[in-house]
Amino acid sequence: HHLAALSKISDRDPRICQRFELYCLGVEIANCFHELTDLEKQIKRFELQNKQKKDLYNYQLAAPELLFQSLKNGLPNSCGIALGVDRLLQLLLGQEELFYDYCLK
């Protein structure tokens, strides 16, 4: 589930994570997911992904203790969408080459 990020996995099909991304002209402008609120699953996923980072890139991230504490306290089911307003504006103004130039550096 390397593409699942912080999202839940479908109950009906374990190959599917409950998230999507919105692209315009090849630029990701938004992403959305159903938050994984199961603390044990979140810890296992973090540990697995952190091990993969260590193996592939020789670095690790600090554990997201605030997130883990929120999940322990009972974070309710939630979902949302994050819109990259800067990216959307670049596309609307016809300045998408600024995004590509920035990402290729």
Which residues touch 32 (CB under 8 Å, ≥6 apart)?
Answer: 19, 20, 21, 22, 79, 80, 81, 82
Splitting the chain (105 residues) into consecutive groups of 10 residues, what average pLDDT does each group show?
Answer: 76 90 88 92 92 93 93 91 90 75 58
Beta bridge partners of 27: 24
The whole-number pLDDT of residue 40 equals 95
Name the pTM for this structure. Answer: 0.69
**37, 18 contact by CB (below 8 A):** no
Beta bridge partners of 83: 30
